[in-house]
Structure 1
Amino acid sequence: MIGRSEEYEKMFRLEGQLWWYRHLHERVGEALLHRFGENRDVTILDAGCGTGGLLSFLNQLGYTHLRGIDGSVDAVAYCHERKLPVSFVNLTGLADFEPTHMYDAIICNDVFCYFSNADLATLMMALTGRLKPGGILISNNNAFGAFRGEHDLAVGIIRRFVLSDFEPLLSQNGLNLLAYTYWSFSLSLPIVLVRQWQRIRLRLGWSKPGEAKSDVYLPVRWLNKLLLGIVRAEQKLLRRTPFGSSLFMVISR
């Protein structure tokens, strides 16, 4: 998404309100709580932190040792506006950034979708090298090609994943998958139908790739609240689901 200033502006304005961001942040908070209990002194790196919504959320939860990095000038500027400790770092150079610093938890949400196979293997090795023994990597990722649509074009997503895509990367780096689920399962049918319709429109030339719009917009209040309630209920009732537009993983070293 680097270079798409308008998308970062929308993210900055809406990630504290939009149902999807709010629930993702809650999932991260629950993963940290499950691993570390009430300990708020753990060291946390948000790698690819965007405009800092997650870091702000974790700060509100009481976590005190937070750090963020991002390869977008726009994103880092918005983080500094929030007074967050974020540095401009291209993730392809993560291995050279403060190489002696290790973390109890690293979060890398919706970042892998911008990397080729070779670059992703390098990034995963660098992330592993920054985890303390017993540390965890939390990662949310765009899932299943069936959900590809205008959002992918608008923010520059080059790939979507299923769990099996990560199995060799985990094995090569000595990592263990602690927990995973696809999510937005309950909303899969309407999302797929919308995305398929978008792809038909693109094929027929009824819409242009350069005019594609992302999903980062705030629906009316009642609908935003309803969608948040649906995904919260899904997480509470179904520990793991087999399908959804995102794949959430917790990985240990």
Structure 2
Amino acid sequence: MIGRSEEYAKMFELEGQLWWYRNLHERVVTALERQFGDRRDIQILDAGCGTGGMLDFLRRRGYTQLRGIDGSTDAVAFCNERGFSVTFLDLTTLASFEPAIQYDAIICNDVFCYFTESELPPLLLALARRLKSEGILVSNNNAFSVFEGQHDIAVGILRRFVLTDFEQLMPPTGLRIQRATYWSFVLSPMILLMRRWQRLQLRLGWQKPENAQSDVYLPSHWLNETLYRIVRTEQKFMSRTPFGSSLFMVVSSQHPSVK
């Protein structure tokens, strides 16, 4: 999404309110608490932190050792507005960035979709080398190509994933998937219908690719709260679902340390 200033502005404005971000942030904290309990002093890196919404959520939950990196000057500027000291970094150069520093947890949400097939394995290896022996990588990803729509065009998504993609990518890097689930399962028919309508508009020329808009917008309060509660209930009673527009994973090192 680098270079799309208007999309970063929408993200900055809505991350704390929009149902989708709220659910994602809560999923991340649940994963951290499952691994580290009540500890709030763990070292956390948000790799591809965007406008800092995840970092802000973690700070409000009491986490104190927070670090962010992002390859967009717009994102870094918004993070600075939130009071975070975030480093500007092209993630393709992560291997040479502070190689001696390791983290208890690395968060990498909706980032891998911006990397080519040749760029992604080195990035995963660089992330693996930043994990402490008991550390975890928490990652959310765009899932299933059937959900492609104007949103993908608007934010520059290169690809979508299924779990088997990561099951093949992780082992050579020394990473192992602990838990994974697709989500927004209950809402997936609605999302799919919306995305198919978007694709039809593009195919018929009713909408131009250069004018494509992302799905980052705030619906009415009652609808936003209803969608939030639906997905929250899904998370509570369905720990793993077979389908959805996102794939959430908790990943750990296969070895005591990856060198």
**TM-score band, normalised by the shorter chain?**
over 0.9
1:91 aligned partner, one-letter code: L
Cα offset for 1:18?
0.4
Where do 5+ consecutive residues of structure 2 fail to align?
Answer: 254-259
Structure 2 CA distance for aligned equivalents of residues 125 and 105 of structure 1? 15
Secondary structure at the residue paired with 1:166? helix
Deviations along 1:125-145, whole A, 9 cap, x unmatched? 100010011210000000001
Work out whether 1:233 is the aligned partner of 2:240.
no
Structure 2 match to 1:190: 190
Structure 1 CA distance for aligned equivalents of residues 167 and 177 of structure 2? 9
- TM-score of the superposition, structure 1-length normalised? 0.99
Structure 2 match to 1:215: 215
- TM-score of the superposition, structure 2-length normalised? 0.97
Secondary structure at the residue paired with 1:180? strand
Where do 5+ consecutive residues of structure 1 fail to align?
Answer: none
Aligned 8 A contact 1:66 1:85 in 2: no
Structure 2 CA distance for aligned equivalents of residues 226 and 160 of structure 1? 27
Structure 1 CA distance for aligned equivalents of residues 85 and 46 of structure 2? 10
Structure 1 match to 2:75: 75
Structure 1 match to 2:8: 8
Structure 2 match to 1:22: 22
Work out whether 1:55 is the aligned partner of 2:55.
yes
Structure 1 match to 2:175: 175
**Misfit runs of 4+, over 4 Å:** none
Deviations along 1:145-174, whole A, 9 cap, x unmatched? 110000000000010000000112211012
Aligned 8 A contact 2:15 2:21 in 1: yes
Cα offset for 1:42?
0.6
Cα offset for 1:182?
0.2
Structure 2 CA distance for aligned equivalents of residues 23 and 88 of structure 1? 27
Mapping of residues 153-172 of structure 1, within 5 Å: 153-172=153-172
Equivalent residues, number = 253
Cα offset for 1:201?
1.2
Identity of aligned pairs, percent? 66
- Alpha-carbon RMSD across the aligned residues, in angstroms, is 0.6
Structure 2 CA distance for aligned equivalents of residues 26 and 48 of structure 1? 18
Cα offset for 1:96?
1.4
Structure 2 CA distance for aligned equivalents of residues 252 and 233 of structure 1? 27
1:184 aligned partner, one-letter code: S
Cα offset for 1:85?
2.2
Aligned 8 A contact 1:23 1:232 in 2: yes
2:224 aligned partner, one-letter code: N
Structure 2 CA distance for aligned equivalents of residues 174 and 158 of structure 1? 25
